[in-house]
Amino acid sequence: MLLSWGKPKILVKDKEQAGAIWRLLPTPVEGSTQLETTEGDTVEAKIEGGAVEDVMDKIDTYALKFEERLVKGRKKCFGDKEGVVKHNYEVFLQPEDETAYGIHINTARVSVSDSYTSADGLKQAISLKALANEETTQIEIGVVTVTGTKGSYSPSIVPIEAESETSDSDSDGSIPTA
């Protein structure tokens, strides 16, 4: 496969609990997993007459969202009080094809909301909103590797590299002609 689609593995670790371990979450409801990107605002410095003298773009924000079925005998992914989860989490998403690109969120704030329909039963919508910090980007895209087994998972990521802005080649690797 070339694409990062299919049944993902989502691993989380509580960043505020000493000795926390990586947990593999239950498989999400089909078609519910998505990375939602909100484009940052653009601020324009205008001069008399309405011309734009300068532009400043603010950064995008991200949230990894998915749904979990609440089934008999399975615990909720996150302990919440009326939708609020107290701690921040680190998150890895590995797509079905383990060699395709996945997602790493260094620090995420979790919120949940419960719903019920007679067709789907009880579900919980989970949102992991990426938080900015001084040391890392909000999200990383790259190949996610997960080693270990239950109780000793160890996820990591090799980030995808951006093409140099001064590159002389097209995205397909060919050299442009004049």
Is it the case that residue 145 has pLDDT exceeding 80?
Answer: yes
* Any domain includes 1: no
* Any domain includes 53: no
* Any domain includes 115: yes
Give me the domain span that covers residue 71: 9-40+58-159
Query: Which residue reads 């371990």 in tokens?
Result: 21
| pLDDT tens readout for residues 47-102 | 999 999 999 999 999 999 999 999 999 999 999 999 999 999 999 999 999 999 99
Identity of residue 137 = T
* Any domain includes 169: no
- Per-residue pLDDT, averaged over 142-164, amounts to 92
Instruction: Name residue 158's beta-bridge partners.
Output: 143
* Any domain includes 36: yes
Cβ–Cβ under 8 Å, residues 151 and 20: no
* Any domain includes 49: no
* Any domain includes 167: no
* Any domain includes 107: yes
Write down the pLDDT at residue 166. Answer: 66
| DSSP per residue, the chain | --SS-SS-EEEEEESSSTT---EEPPPPPTT--EEEEEPPPEEEEE-TTS-EEEEEEPPPEEEEEEEEE--TT---SS--BTTEEEEEEEEEEE-SSTTSEEEEEEEEEEEEEEEEETTTEEEEEEEEEE---SSS-SEEEEEEEEES-TT--EEEEEEPPPPPTT--S-TTSPPP--
Tally of structural domains, the chain: 1
